[in-house]
Amino acid sequence: MYLGPINAEWVLLIVIAIVGFIVQAKLQSVFKKYSKVMFPGGLTGKDVAERMLHDNGIYDVKVVSTPGHLTDHYNPATKTVNLSESVYSSNSVAAAAVAAHECGHAVQHAREYAPLKMRSALVPVVSFSSQWAMWVIIAGMLLLNTYPALFWIGIGMIAVSAVFSLITLPVEYNASARAMEWLTGSYTLKGEQAAQAKEALAWAARTYLVAALSAVVTLIYYIGIARRQ
């Protein structure tokens, strides 16, 4: 990636990268800690997910186990809550938090939550533009004198990624809010354990916040370069 002259955005991007590294490490350690905290009732991630879906009147979403670590996600196309093997079969506070969060996305889908709809609509555009943006930017720099518009097209592609990471924020925060509402409202988690689940989800949300900040500053950085030409 061409970094250009050192300026405020450049320094800010390095600071954000360092903060991102710290947040990611903290997230890992918090999840590791709370995956050892079991809660009474013996519910596994799968049980938690199925109960939360049913309590929300959702019966057409399947809860399935998916290979890998931190691979948990909700797939709106197949209507499946995919839980990683450790979350699926674990009855820890961390597993309950993750399972409920993914169900939060299933509830958003069922209720046609607008930011989720917008985010889903952007997925194909973003996967294309994030793959090609850097190449278009580089080509745009090389062809700056003959075809100046190309650099701005590259910036437009970076802007799509920035918008996407901003729309991701309400989607993720809202899924965690729905998760906590159900976990505490159903008395699945109480007192200290509810606080632990909330803490784990808060750290997960911060990783999305850092990613969004990084995307916005990257965009500002390239706009700055384009305007100086």
Active site residues: 102
**Nearest residue to 168 (alpha-carbon basis) of 97, 113, 220, 222:** 113
What is the Cα–Cα distance from 204 to 210, expressed in whole angstroms?
10
In sequence order, what E strands does the chain have? 62-66, 73-75, 80-84
Output 10 or 203, the one with its CB closest to Zn ion: 203
Distance of CA 216 to the CA centre of its chain: 16
Tokens of 171: 């989607």
Name beta bridge partners: 82: 64, 73
Q: How many residues bind Zn ion (CB under 5 A)?
A: 2
Minimum Å gap between C-beta 145 and Zn ion is 45
Interactions with Zn ion, residue window 141-180 (CB under 5 A):
172, 175
Output 47 or 172, the one with its CB closest to Zn ion: 172
Interactions with Zn ion, residue window 49-78 (CB under 5 A):
none
Tokens of 219: 């965009």
Minimum Å gap between C-beta 58 and Zn ion is 16
Output 46 or 105, the one with its CB closest to Zn ion: 105
Report the interface residues with Zn ion, using CB under 5 A.
Answer: 172, 175
